[in-house]
Amino acid sequence: MSGAAGAGPAERWFADRFGGRPEGVWRAPGRANLIGEHTDYNQGWVLPFALHLGVTVAASRRDDGVLAIASRQAPGAPVGLPLATLVPGAVTGWAAYPAGVAWAVRETGHPLAGGASLAIESDLPQGAGLSSSAALECATALALAGLYGLDLSRPELAALAWRAENDFVGVPSGIMDQSASLLSRAGHALLLDCRSGETTDVPLDPAGAGLGLVIVDTGARHALGDGRYAERRRECDRAAALLGVTSLRELTSPAAAAGLADSVLRRRARHVITENARVQETVTLLTGGDLAGVGAVLRASHASLRDDFEVSWPEADVAVDAATAAGALGARMMGGGFGGSALALVPAGQRAVSAAITAEFGRRGWPPPGFVRAVPSAGALRVR
Protein backbone atom coordinates (compact mmCIF):
# COMPACT_ATOMS: atom_id res chain seq x y z
CA MET A 1 0.00 0.00 0.00
CA SER A 2 1.25 3.42 -0.82
CA GLY A 3 1.47 6.83 0.82
CA ALA A 4 -1.21 7.51 3.35
CA ALA A 5 -2.61 3.99 3.63
CA GLY A 6 -1.36 3.33 7.18
CA ALA A 7 -2.05 5.39 10.29
CA GLY A 8 1.50 6.79 10.51
CA PRO A 9 1.51 9.71 8.05
CA ALA A 10 -1.84 11.06 9.27
CA GLU A 11 -0.74 10.69 12.91
CA ARG A 12 2.45 12.60 12.21
CA TRP A 13 0.47 15.28 10.41
CA PHE A 14 -1.86 15.49 13.43
CA ALA A 15 1.11 15.90 15.79
CA ASP A 16 2.54 18.59 13.52
CA ARG A 17 -0.68 20.64 13.34
CA PHE A 18 -2.34 19.98 16.70
CA GLY A 19 0.33 18.41 18.91
CA GLY A 20 0.14 15.07 20.66
CA ARG A 21 -1.38 11.80 19.56
CA PRO A 22 -4.86 11.59 18.00
CA GLU A 23 -7.55 9.55 19.71
CA GLY A 24 -7.99 7.51 16.54
CA VAL A 25 -7.31 7.23 12.82
CA TRP A 26 -9.92 6.42 10.16
CA ARG A 27 -9.55 5.79 6.47
CA ALA A 28 -12.01 5.82 3.57
CA PRO A 29 -11.16 4.74 0.01
CA GLY A 30 -11.86 6.35 -3.32
CA ARG A 31 -13.77 4.29 -5.84
CA ALA A 32 -13.73 3.07 -9.40
CA ASN A 33 -16.99 2.28 -11.10
CA LEU A 34 -17.00 -0.93 -13.12
CA ILE A 35 -20.32 -0.04 -14.73
CA GLY A 36 -23.56 1.86 -14.06
CA GLU A 37 -22.82 5.48 -14.95
CA HIS A 38 -25.38 8.25 -14.40
CA THR A 39 -27.83 5.65 -13.16
CA ASP A 40 -27.65 6.36 -9.41
CA TYR A 41 -29.70 9.57 -9.43
CA ASN A 42 -32.16 7.83 -11.75
CA GLN A 43 -32.85 5.31 -8.97
CA GLY A 44 -31.10 2.58 -10.98
CA TRP A 45 -28.21 0.19 -10.35
CA VAL A 46 -24.46 0.82 -10.03
CA LEU A 47 -21.51 -1.56 -9.68
CA PRO A 48 -18.55 0.34 -8.19
CA PHE A 49 -15.67 -0.98 -6.09
CA ALA A 50 -13.41 0.61 -3.48
CA LEU A 51 -9.81 1.40 -4.39
CA HIS A 52 -6.65 0.87 -2.33
CA LEU A 53 -6.13 4.65 -2.47
CA GLY A 54 -8.01 6.90 -0.09
CA VAL A 55 -8.23 9.61 2.55
CA THR A 56 -7.01 9.13 6.12
CA VAL A 57 -8.21 11.28 9.03
CA ALA A 58 -6.41 11.36 12.39
CA ALA A 59 -8.76 12.94 14.90
CA SER A 60 -9.41 13.88 18.52
CA ARG A 61 -12.30 15.49 20.36
CA ARG A 62 -11.97 19.08 21.57
CA ASP A 63 -13.78 21.00 24.30
CA ASP A 64 -14.27 24.43 22.70
CA GLY A 65 -17.02 23.65 20.19
CA VAL A 66 -14.72 24.17 17.21
CA LEU A 67 -14.13 21.96 14.20
CA ALA A 68 -10.42 22.42 13.43
CA ILE A 69 -9.30 20.93 10.11
CA ALA A 70 -5.81 20.67 8.61
CA SER A 71 -5.20 19.01 5.25
CA ARG A 72 -1.74 17.99 4.14
CA GLN A 73 -2.89 18.53 0.57
CA ALA A 74 -3.79 22.17 1.39
CA PRO A 75 -0.94 23.33 3.61
CA GLY A 76 -1.44 26.23 5.99
CA ALA A 77 -2.78 26.81 9.45
CA PRO A 78 -5.73 24.63 10.49
CA VAL A 79 -9.12 26.01 9.51
CA GLY A 80 -11.12 26.69 12.71
CA LEU A 81 -14.91 26.61 12.39
CA PRO A 82 -17.17 27.06 15.42
CA LEU A 83 -19.76 24.28 15.09
CA ALA A 84 -22.57 26.70 15.86
CA THR A 85 -21.75 28.72 12.73
CA LEU A 86 -22.01 25.79 10.32
CA VAL A 87 -24.84 26.45 7.88
CA PRO A 88 -25.02 25.57 4.17
CA GLY A 89 -22.99 28.03 2.11
CA ALA A 90 -20.93 29.25 5.09
CA VAL A 91 -17.77 27.34 4.11
CA THR A 92 -16.19 27.10 0.66
CA GLY A 93 -13.32 25.12 -0.85
CA TRP A 94 -12.05 21.75 0.38
CA ALA A 95 -12.96 22.47 4.03
CA ALA A 96 -16.65 22.54 3.06
CA TYR A 97 -16.63 18.72 2.74
CA PRO A 98 -15.59 17.82 6.31
CA ALA A 99 -17.52 20.84 7.66
CA GLY A 100 -20.59 19.66 5.76
CA VAL A 101 -20.31 16.24 7.35
CA ALA A 102 -20.14 17.77 10.85
CA TRP A 103 -23.20 19.85 9.93
CA ALA A 104 -25.06 16.77 8.64
CA VAL A 105 -24.21 14.77 11.76
CA ARG A 106 -25.56 17.59 13.94
CA GLU A 107 -28.68 17.80 11.77
CA THR A 108 -29.41 14.17 12.63
CA GLY A 109 -29.53 15.13 16.31
CA HIS A 110 -25.98 14.39 17.45
CA PRO A 111 -24.54 17.66 18.79
CA LEU A 112 -20.78 16.77 18.65
CA ALA A 113 -20.62 19.05 21.68
CA GLY A 114 -16.94 19.84 22.06
CA GLY A 115 -15.96 19.80 18.39
CA ALA A 116 -13.02 17.92 16.89
CA SER A 117 -9.53 18.33 15.46
CA LEU A 118 -9.10 16.58 12.11
CA ALA A 119 -5.75 16.03 10.38
CA ILE A 120 -6.33 14.90 6.81
CA GLU A 121 -3.92 12.99 4.59
CA SER A 122 -4.71 11.61 1.13
CA ASP A 123 -3.06 9.51 -1.55
CA LEU A 124 -5.96 9.94 -3.99
CA PRO A 125 -5.42 12.30 -6.90
CA GLN A 126 -7.98 15.13 -6.80
CA GLY A 127 -10.18 15.82 -9.81
CA ALA A 128 -9.25 12.46 -11.34
CA GLY A 129 -12.79 11.16 -11.00
CA LEU A 130 -11.88 8.73 -8.22
CA SER A 131 -14.17 10.32 -5.63
CA SER A 132 -11.66 12.10 -3.46
CA SER A 133 -14.50 14.29 -2.13
CA ALA A 134 -16.63 11.30 -1.13
CA ALA A 135 -13.59 9.66 0.50
CA LEU A 136 -12.97 12.83 2.53
CA GLU A 137 -16.63 12.97 3.58
CA CYS A 138 -16.74 9.28 4.52
CA ALA A 139 -13.48 9.32 6.49
CA THR A 140 -14.74 12.38 8.37
CA ALA A 141 -18.14 10.79 9.03
CA LEU A 142 -16.53 7.63 10.37
CA ALA A 143 -14.10 9.65 12.50
CA LEU A 144 -16.82 11.82 14.08
CA ALA A 145 -19.02 8.76 14.72
CA GLY A 146 -16.04 6.97 16.26
CA LEU A 147 -14.95 9.89 18.43
CA TYR A 148 -18.43 10.51 19.81
CA GLY A 149 -19.56 6.87 19.94
CA LEU A 150 -22.51 7.54 17.63
CA ASP A 151 -24.68 4.57 16.76
CA LEU A 152 -24.88 5.11 13.00
CA SER A 153 -24.95 2.25 10.48
CA ARG A 154 -22.82 2.29 7.32
CA PRO A 155 -25.83 3.14 5.10
CA GLU A 156 -26.73 5.96 7.51
CA LEU A 157 -23.17 7.30 7.35
CA ALA A 158 -23.28 7.14 3.53
CA ALA A 159 -26.57 9.02 3.54
CA LEU A 160 -25.26 11.81 5.72
CA ALA A 161 -22.02 12.11 3.73
CA TRP A 162 -24.20 12.40 0.61
CA ARG A 163 -26.35 15.01 2.37
CA ALA A 164 -23.22 17.02 3.25
CA GLU A 165 -22.21 17.11 -0.42
CA ASN A 166 -25.66 17.97 -1.75
CA ASP A 167 -27.10 20.28 0.91
CA PHE A 168 -24.01 21.86 2.49
CA VAL A 169 -21.43 21.98 -0.30
CA GLY A 170 -24.12 22.34 -2.96
CA VAL A 171 -22.90 19.66 -5.40
CA PRO A 172 -25.87 17.61 -6.72
CA SER A 173 -24.25 14.13 -6.73
CA GLY A 174 -25.94 10.74 -6.45
CA ILE A 175 -25.30 8.22 -3.64
CA MET A 176 -22.90 5.89 -5.52
CA ASP A 177 -19.55 7.25 -4.37
CA GLN A 178 -20.32 7.46 -0.65
CA SER A 179 -21.87 3.97 -0.76
CA ALA A 180 -18.84 2.50 -2.52
CA SER A 181 -16.47 4.07 -0.01
CA LEU A 182 -18.36 2.85 3.05
CA LEU A 183 -19.95 -0.44 1.97
CA SER A 184 -17.47 -2.19 -0.35
CA ARG A 185 -15.86 -5.52 0.45
CA ALA A 186 -12.33 -6.52 -0.68
CA GLY A 187 -12.28 -8.70 -3.79
CA HIS A 188 -15.79 -7.62 -4.71
CA ALA A 189 -17.75 -4.98 -6.54
CA LEU A 190 -20.77 -3.50 -4.81
CA LEU A 191 -24.09 -3.90 -6.60
CA LEU A 192 -26.28 -1.11 -5.26
CA ASP A 193 -29.95 -0.71 -6.06
CA CYS A 194 -30.26 3.05 -5.66
CA ARG A 195 -34.04 2.90 -5.21
CA SER A 196 -34.21 0.36 -2.38
CA GLY A 197 -30.69 0.83 -1.01
CA GLU A 198 -30.21 -2.94 -1.21
CA THR A 199 -26.59 -4.04 -1.74
CA THR A 200 -25.01 -7.27 -2.96
CA ASP A 201 -21.30 -8.12 -3.01
CA VAL A 202 -20.34 -9.42 -6.45
CA PRO A 203 -16.98 -11.25 -6.76
CA LEU A 204 -14.45 -9.23 -8.75
CA ASP A 205 -11.00 -10.79 -8.92
CA PRO A 206 -9.13 -9.55 -12.01
CA ALA A 207 -5.84 -11.21 -11.03
CA GLY A 208 -7.56 -14.55 -10.54
CA ALA A 209 -8.90 -14.28 -14.08
CA GLY A 210 -5.47 -13.46 -15.53
CA LEU A 211 -6.63 -9.90 -16.17
CA GLY A 212 -6.06 -6.43 -14.79
CA LEU A 213 -8.21 -3.34 -14.30
CA VAL A 214 -6.24 -0.21 -15.09
CA ILE A 215 -7.33 3.32 -14.28
CA VAL A 216 -6.15 5.87 -16.81
CA ASP A 217 -6.02 9.35 -15.32
CA THR A 218 -6.48 11.37 -18.50
CA GLY A 219 -5.20 14.55 -16.84
CA ALA A 220 -8.31 16.48 -17.91
CA ARG A 221 -9.80 17.82 -14.69
CA HIS A 222 -13.50 17.90 -13.95
CA ALA A 223 -15.77 19.39 -11.31
CA LEU A 224 -19.23 18.00 -10.58
CA GLY A 225 -20.32 21.47 -9.60
CA ASP A 226 -19.68 23.07 -12.99
CA GLY A 227 -23.31 22.82 -14.11
CA ARG A 228 -23.12 20.15 -16.79
CA TYR A 229 -23.73 17.27 -14.36
CA ALA A 230 -26.76 19.11 -12.93
CA GLU A 231 -28.00 19.69 -16.49
CA ARG A 232 -27.94 15.93 -17.15
CA ARG A 233 -29.91 15.34 -13.98
CA ARG A 234 -32.55 17.84 -15.07
CA GLU A 235 -32.77 16.24 -18.51
CA CYS A 236 -33.32 12.81 -16.97
CA ASP A 237 -36.02 14.14 -14.62
CA ARG A 238 -37.73 15.83 -17.54
CA ALA A 239 -37.57 12.66 -19.67
CA ALA A 240 -39.05 10.60 -16.83
CA ALA A 241 -41.85 13.11 -16.28
CA LEU A 242 -42.71 13.15 -20.00
CA LEU A 243 -42.76 9.35 -20.06
CA GLY A 244 -45.02 9.28 -17.01
CA VAL A 245 -42.67 7.45 -14.63
CA THR A 246 -41.20 8.55 -11.31
CA SER A 247 -37.68 7.72 -12.52
CA LEU A 248 -36.03 6.32 -15.65
CA ARG A 249 -35.26 3.21 -13.62
CA GLU A 250 -38.86 2.12 -14.11
CA LEU A 251 -38.23 1.62 -17.84
CA THR A 252 -36.63 -1.60 -19.03
CA SER A 253 -36.95 -1.45 -22.80
CA PRO A 254 -34.92 1.05 -24.87
CA ALA A 255 -38.00 1.26 -27.10
CA ALA A 256 -39.70 3.22 -24.30
CA ALA A 257 -37.41 6.19 -25.03
CA ALA A 258 -38.81 6.39 -28.56
CA GLY A 259 -41.88 8.03 -27.07
CA LEU A 260 -39.89 11.22 -26.49
CA ALA A 261 -40.19 13.80 -29.27
CA ASP A 262 -37.06 15.69 -28.18
CA SER A 263 -34.03 13.87 -29.60
CA VAL A 264 -31.72 14.98 -26.78
CA LEU A 265 -34.07 13.69 -24.08
CA ARG A 266 -34.59 10.52 -26.11
CA ARG A 267 -30.86 9.80 -26.14
CA ARG A 268 -30.44 10.64 -22.44
CA ALA A 269 -33.24 8.21 -21.53
CA ARG A 270 -31.86 5.53 -23.86
CA HIS A 271 -28.48 5.72 -22.12
CA VAL A 272 -29.99 5.25 -18.67
CA ILE A 273 -32.22 2.36 -19.77
CA THR A 274 -29.43 0.52 -21.60
CA GLU A 275 -26.86 1.24 -18.87
CA ASN A 276 -29.11 -0.32 -16.22
CA ALA A 277 -29.36 -3.40 -18.45
CA ARG A 278 -25.56 -3.44 -18.81
CA VAL A 279 -25.18 -3.50 -15.01
CA GLN A 280 -27.43 -6.55 -14.83
CA GLU A 281 -25.52 -8.19 -17.68
CA THR A 282 -22.20 -7.51 -15.95
CA VAL A 283 -23.44 -9.04 -12.69
CA THR A 284 -24.53 -12.16 -14.58
CA LEU A 285 -21.12 -12.41 -16.26
CA LEU A 286 -19.18 -11.91 -13.03
CA THR A 287 -21.33 -14.37 -11.13
CA GLY A 288 -20.66 -16.89 -13.89
CA GLY A 289 -16.90 -16.28 -13.62
CA ASP A 290 -16.65 -14.54 -17.00
CA LEU A 291 -14.80 -11.28 -16.33
CA ALA A 292 -13.39 -11.33 -19.86
CA GLY A 293 -16.95 -11.15 -21.17
CA VAL A 294 -17.39 -7.82 -19.37
CA GLY A 295 -15.01 -6.20 -21.90
CA ALA A 296 -17.70 -5.91 -24.58
CA VAL A 297 -20.12 -4.42 -22.04
CA LEU A 298 -17.57 -1.76 -21.08
CA ARG A 299 -17.15 -0.83 -24.74
CA ALA A 300 -20.91 -0.51 -25.19
CA SER A 301 -21.14 1.63 -22.05
CA HIS A 302 -18.52 4.02 -23.37
CA ALA A 303 -20.29 4.39 -26.72
CA SER A 304 -23.53 5.16 -24.92
CA LEU A 305 -21.92 7.72 -22.59
CA ARG A 306 -20.18 9.34 -25.56
CA ASP A 307 -23.01 9.38 -28.10
CA ASP A 308 -26.26 9.29 -26.13
CA PHE A 309 -25.39 10.89 -22.79
CA GLU A 310 -22.62 13.13 -24.21
CA VAL A 311 -20.47 13.28 -21.09
CA SER A 312 -17.25 11.89 -22.53
CA TRP A 313 -14.27 14.10 -23.33
CA PRO A 314 -11.55 13.94 -26.00
CA GLU A 315 -8.82 12.42 -23.80
CA ALA A 316 -11.19 9.66 -22.64
CA ASP A 317 -12.24 8.82 -26.20
CA VAL A 318 -8.62 8.63 -27.33
CA ALA A 319 -7.64 6.52 -24.29
CA VAL A 320 -10.53 4.08 -24.87
CA ASP A 321 -9.85 3.74 -28.62
CA ALA A 322 -6.10 3.31 -28.12
CA ALA A 323 -6.62 0.78 -25.33
CA THR A 324 -8.99 -1.31 -27.40
CA ALA A 325 -6.76 -1.19 -30.47
CA ALA A 326 -3.79 -2.31 -28.34
CA GLY A 327 -5.49 -5.39 -26.92
CA ALA A 328 -7.67 -4.26 -24.01
CA LEU A 329 -10.79 -6.41 -23.71
CA GLY A 330 -12.79 -3.27 -23.08
CA ALA A 331 -12.51 0.26 -21.73
CA ARG A 332 -14.76 3.16 -20.89
CA MET A 333 -14.84 6.60 -19.34
CA MET A 334 -15.66 6.60 -15.66
CA GLY A 335 -17.58 8.88 -13.30
CA GLY A 336 -19.54 12.05 -13.93
CA GLY A 337 -17.70 12.90 -17.16
CA PHE A 338 -16.09 15.92 -18.83
CA GLY A 339 -12.73 14.97 -17.32
CA GLY A 340 -11.18 12.49 -14.91
CA SER A 341 -10.34 8.86 -15.57
CA ALA A 342 -11.10 5.92 -17.82
CA LEU A 343 -11.07 2.25 -16.84
CA ALA A 344 -9.54 -0.47 -19.03
CA LEU A 345 -9.80 -4.25 -18.69
CA VAL A 346 -6.50 -5.70 -19.91
CA PRO A 347 -4.63 -9.01 -20.00
CA ALA A 348 -2.50 -9.23 -16.83
CA GLY A 349 0.99 -7.80 -17.05
CA GLN A 350 0.25 -6.17 -20.40
CA ARG A 351 2.18 -2.98 -20.93
CA ALA A 352 1.12 -2.57 -24.58
CA VAL A 353 -2.12 -0.85 -23.61
CA SER A 354 -0.60 1.87 -21.43
CA ALA A 355 2.22 2.35 -23.95
CA ALA A 356 -0.31 2.79 -26.77
CA ILE A 357 -2.38 5.32 -24.81
CA THR A 358 0.72 7.30 -23.84
CA ALA A 359 1.87 7.32 -27.47
CA GLU A 360 -1.51 8.60 -28.70
CA PHE A 361 -1.48 11.36 -26.07
CA GLY A 362 2.05 12.31 -27.12
CA ARG A 363 1.02 12.46 -30.78
CA ARG A 364 -1.58 15.08 -29.83
CA GLY A 365 0.79 17.08 -27.65
CA TRP A 366 -1.11 16.14 -24.47
CA PRO A 367 0.76 15.48 -21.20
CA PRO A 368 1.23 11.74 -20.52
CA PRO A 369 -1.67 10.15 -18.63
CA GLY A 370 -1.27 8.48 -15.22
CA PHE A 371 -1.90 4.76 -14.69
CA VAL A 372 -3.08 3.06 -11.51
CA ARG A 373 -3.78 -0.66 -11.15
CA ALA A 374 -7.24 -0.88 -9.62
CA VAL A 375 -7.46 -3.46 -6.83
CA PRO A 376 -11.00 -4.09 -5.51
CA SER A 377 -10.44 -3.20 -1.84
CA ALA A 378 -12.25 -2.99 1.48
CA GLY A 379 -14.48 -0.06 2.38
CA ALA A 380 -13.76 2.54 5.06
CA LEU A 381 -12.37 1.39 8.37
CA ARG A 382 -10.74 2.48 11.62
CA VAL A 383 -6.99 2.13 11.13
CA ARG A 384 -6.09 2.70 14.78
The answer to whether the beta carbons of residues 14 and 119 sit under 8 Å apart is yes
Please identify, using beta-carbon distances, which residue of 26 and 45 lies nearer to ligand GAF.
Answer: 45
Which of 11, 137, 177, 308 touches ligand GAF (CB under 6 A)?
177
Name which of residues 310 to 339 contact ligand GAF (CB under 6 A): 335-336
Tell me the C-alpha distance between 56 and 38, whole Å.
28
Neighbouring CB atoms inside 10 A of 307's CB total 12
The answer to whether the beta carbons of residues 378 and 1 sit under 8 Å apart is no
Q: Is 63 a catalytic residue?
A: no
Tell me the C-alpha distance between 99 and 93, whole Å.
10
Please identify, using beta-carbon distances, which residue of 336 and 339 lies nearer to ligand GAF.
Answer: 336
Name which of residues 35 to 54 contact ligand GAF (CB under 6 A): 37-38, 40-41
Q: Is 100 in the site for ligand GAF (CB under 6 A)?
A: no
Which one from 123, 177, 217, 308 is the annotated catalytic residue?
A: 177
Which of 176, 283, 316, 320 touches ligand GAF (CB under 6 A)?
176
Nearest approach, Cβ of 178 to ligand GAF (angstroms)?
Answer: 8
For every residue of 336-373, DSSP letters joined together read SSSSSEEEEEEETT--HHHHHHHHHHHHTTPPPPEEEE
Please identify, using beta-carbon distances, which residue of 37 and 360 lies nearer to ligand GAF.
Answer: 37
Please identify, using beta-carbon distances, which residue of 34 and 57 lies nearer to ligand GAF.
Answer: 34
Nearest approach, Cβ of 383 to ligand GAF (angstroms)?
Answer: 25
Q: Name the one range near ligand GAF by CB under 6 A: 33-41, 65-73, 89-97, 346-354.
A: 33-41
Tell me the C-alpha distance between 209 and 199, whole Å.
24
Tell me the C-alpha distance between 161 and 351, whole Å.
38
Q: Is 137 in the site for ligand GAF (CB under 6 A)?
A: no
The answer to whether the beta carbons of residues 249 and 44 sit under 8 Å apart is yes
Which of 10, 96, 120, 224 touches ligand GAF (CB under 6 A)?
224
Q: Terminal CA-to-CA distance of the chain, rounded, Å? A: 16
Q: Is 11 in the site for ligand GAF (CB under 6 A)?
A: no
Please identify, using beta-carbon distances, which residue of 38 and 163 lies nearer to ligand GAF.
Answer: 38
Which of 43, 132, 173, 276 touches ligand GAF (CB under 6 A)?
173
The answer to whether the beta carbons of residues 184 and 29 sit under 8 Å apart is yes
Q: Is 29 in the site for ligand GAF (CB under 6 A)?
A: no
Q: Is 98 in the site for ligand GAF (CB under 6 A)?
A: no
Q: Tell me the H-state helices in the chain.
A: 8-18, 96-107, 132-147, 154-163, 176-183, 228-242, 263-287, 294-307, 314-325, 352-363
Residues that are catalytic: 177
**Positions that interact with ligand GAF (CB under 6 A):** 37-38, 40-41, 173-174, 176-177, 224, 335-336
